[in-house]
Amino acid sequence: MTASHTAPYGFPHNLYALLRRMGNLFAKGILAVAILFMAGIIAIATAAAGIALAAYALILRLSGSSSDERTQYRETAENGTITLEAKKTPRGWTVE
């Protein structure tokens, strides 16, 4: 025959079981709040990093050279002929 593990009858045993269950429930609640708090901190840190990267990209974009100013580089061979002409475009470098 199997016996269930219940607290014996009587005042002190039932009180200890109740306190133990309340303590376990309280500990689980504290753990849940700690997990939610850490998730919130991680979300805020990730958002702050994203905003910082976006601001840095915007600063780089706005501080670049204007569209009417184009840089051209020419490389000439020893006999004076042009071997390479590269222009900087908004999409990168173009070699003609």
Q: What is the pLDDT of residues 16-29, one digit of tens each?
A: 888 999 999 999 99
The pLDDT, as a whole number, for residue 18 is 87
Show contacts of 15-23: CB within 8 Å, 24+ apart. Answer: none
The pLDDT, as a whole number, for residue 74 is 58
Question: CA-CA distance, 51 to 53, in Å (whole number)?
Answer: 5
The pLDDT, as a whole number, for residue 3 is 58
Contact present, 72 and 84 (Cβ < 8 Å) = no
| CA 91 to mean position of chain CA atoms | 28
Nearest to 28 by CA among 16, 40, 20: 20
Contact present, 69 and 87 (Cβ < 8 Å) = no
pLDDT beneath 50, residues of the chain:
none
Alpha helices in the chain, H assignment, sequence order: 11-62
The pLDDT, as a whole number, for residue 13 is 72
The pLDDT, as a whole number, for residue 64 is 73
